[in-house]
Structure 1
Amino acid sequence: MTRYREICTALARRAGSGDLCPGDELPGVRELAREWGTTASTVSRAQRHLAEAGVLELADRRRARLTADAAVAARRFLHAESVFTLAGSDDPAFDLVTRTLAGRVRTLTGQGSFAGLAAVRQGRADGAAIHLLHHSGVYNAPFARGLLRRLDPHLVHLWRREQGLIVAPGNPAGVTLAGLVRHRVAARRPGTGTRVLLDRLLLDAGEDPDAVRGPQLGTHLEVALAVATGTVDVGLGVRSAAADLDLDFLPVAWEDYDIALPGSALDAAAPLVAALHGAPLRAAVTALGGYDATRSGTVTPAAG
């Protein structure tokens, strides 16, 4: 490793760990050069490289300072080549995430929220995309806390999204939530967050979830396709899947959609977190319809 890269790595690690905080001022270039046993030009080159990465801000006649987002930028810098493996729930917006991160996120979605948490617990994935409504009315944190309790569980907020009944244009079958079991319904597989939500909605409407008739499908797009082809009368899914096929959408709930991950995976998730904070990805996700990306990229401990 070249000397300037060594300096970059050392400073980024201090910023990522919190040893250096946003707004902190670094020693002067000559002082750092003496500390590292190198030249002032090498230190200047390292600082310019970290400034390009968003860790430092530089100004004429001033010492380098850490940016407001230095910790996130430092982790992104340190783990720029890592690949974050994401298991769990399906969402049409993931195509935008994978394109934005150009190979740094590998998705194994479509298995469902519970299967994703199991993959993280078994070490087969770095994080799980989940949207699980607890009986307390809280999304995701109780499940991450319970299933990943020995792994220092955290949640990375992806977005809020709108779920609803996907029906043919004009709702010719007259579908309503209260009478859902009288129709052919495309349901998600057991263990998915959407199936948990469907069962909860039916119970709240006084219906028996076991009375639902229809195929069990793997993705929101498959649900929308089943409605579009007339295979079923209705399916529960996200608004963007209905919009893709020009179907009608009867909204029923907004839900928190998060990544549950161990504390040890936070560094590997840094490029993803940084992208979620970025305006371009937020705007692209919101444009799909039925998404709220206001808090995208927020990281919180699940324990408590």
Structure 2
Amino acid sequence: MLTSREVAAYLGIHEKQVYRLLRQGRLPGTRITGRWVFSRRLVREWIEASSREVLRQGQRGGEVTIHSVEPHHLIFVGADDLLLQILQREFNRRHPALLVTSAAMNSVAGIAAVRERRAHVAGVHLLDPASGEYNRPQVAAAFDRGRAMLVTLAHRQIGLMVPHGNPRGVAGLGDVIRLRLRLASREPGSGVRVLQDHLLRELKLGKRRVAGTELALATHLEVATAIAEGRADAGLGTLAPSRSLGLDFIPLIWERYDLVTTDEAFYHRPTQAFFEMVKSDWLRQLITTLPGYDARQTGLLTVVQPDD
């Protein structure tokens, strides 16, 4: 159990604010012989619930922002990624006094959440077809006031997932179109969907319809599952879910997966701790053990100005 002074230190606030939260009925505490005591588990659950409310309010157009959460709390939004999941677990293990709350969100929505101060950090992997560059052009366009920071997590391989043994002999998207196969697609706004739409445009299909693109699947694993269950014949994604379900994987490109934050949130204590891990030798060594990932620019910081 924590005393009021200890819970104040844990939350990074003044002890008077603890009593204010108690009077408002917001902070879980128990009064024993005239003194307030707090369960560490219940306090953590309260922090997690508060951060989820920030995300829910933001998604509903509310006014709640990252300034509503406690100083030791980091709100992360982003697409599903194996490396990111491992990183977050290790962060929680190394920094038990800090708290990361994460929510699945596609790259376009993630950039908006950071810009609108509904999240501290977002994972992004958006190709700019005009320049062939990843992430910086879209972030510069979104942050027309104030600068943003991009920290590279890793490069990862994107390819076509097809059934085990590749029975139709698919070598690329062109074969998917030629053979009139069903292409499982990600939701609009996701980095993989942006890439897929660009690659299909390059094939100059005209008005030809691609079967399956009406699907709006939320994750790489959902795409892989659709193929494994016979609901689709192919789909773009990363290597990990393809291997986990026994599919064949046809490499297409390497994309850069960045973490975007605002100039302000960059100096938030948990954000700094998170980025220190991104720049660590531990992460680089981990990446060398993960097929489909590359650490060539891991930890690289790029400052994005509005007029870039």
TM-score by length of structure 2 reads 0.68
Return the alpha-carbon distance in structure 1 between the equivalents of residues 283 and 241 of structure 2.
18
Q: Which amino acid aligns with 2:292?
A: G
What fraction of aligned residue pairs are identical, expressed as a percent?
38
Return the alpha-carbon distance in structure 2 between the equivalents of residues 104 and 237 of structure 1.
30
Task: Tell me what 2:227 maps to.
Answer: 227
- Deviation string 1:237-287 (CA, Å, 9 cap, x unpaired) is 011221222211111110111012111111232111111122223333342
Instruction: Give yes or no for the alignment of 1:179 onto 2:175.
Output: yes
Matches for 1:205-224 after TM superposition, within 5 Å: 205-207=203-205, 211-214=209-212, 215-224=215-224
Instruction: Give yes or no for the alignment of 1:190 onto 2:177.
Output: no
Return the alpha-carbon distance in structure 1 between the equivalents of residues 208 and 275 of structure 2.
39
Task: Tell me what 1:84 maps to.
Answer: 74
What secondary structure sits across from 1:275 in the alignment?
helix
Q: 1:212 to 1:104 in 2, by over 3 A?
A: farther
- Alignment counterpart, residue 122 of structure 2, candidates 128, 135, 138: 128
- Deviation string 1:141-183 (CA, Å, 9 cap, x unpaired) is 1111110231311101111000000011111133331132311
Return the alpha-carbon distance in structure 1 between the equivalents of residues 86 and 235 of structure 2.
24
Matches for 1:27-42 after TM superposition, within 5 Å: none
Return the alpha-carbon distance in structure 2 between the equivalents of residues 174 and 164 of structure 1.
15
Q: Which runs of 5+ in 1 are unaligned?
A: 2-80
C-alpha displacement of 1:296: 1.7
C-alpha displacement of 1:120: 1.3
Alignment root-mean-square deviation, CA: 2.3
Please say which of residues 286-295 and 138-147 is displaced more in the overlay: 286-295
- Deviation string 1:99-147 (CA, Å, 9 cap, x unpaired) is 11106332212x2111111111222111221111112111101111110
- Alignment counterpart, residue 94 of structure 1, candidates 84, 87, 93: 84
Return the alpha-carbon distance in structure 2 between the equivalents of residues 94 and 207 of structure 1.
35
Task: Tell me what 2:150 maps to.
Answer: 155
Runs (4 or more) in structure 1 with deviation over 6 Å come to none
C-alpha displacement of 1:210: 7.5
Q: Which amino acid aligns with 1:158?
A: L
Task: Tell me what 2:265 maps to.
Answer: 265
Q: 1:209 to 1:260 in 2, by over 3 A?
A: farther
Task: Tell me what 1:72 maps to.
Answer: none
Q: How many residues align?
A: 226
Return the alpha-carbon distance in structure 1 between the equivalents of residues 159 and 168 of structure 2.
16
Task: Tell me what 2:61 maps to.
Answer: none
Q: 1:275 to 1:104 in 2, by over 3 A?
A: farther
Return the alpha-carbon distance in structure 2 between the equivalents of residues 243 and 148 of structure 1.
37
Q: Which runs of 5+ in 2 are unaligned?
A: 6-70, 93-97
Bigger Rg, which one: 1
Q: Which amino acid aligns with 1:297?
A: G
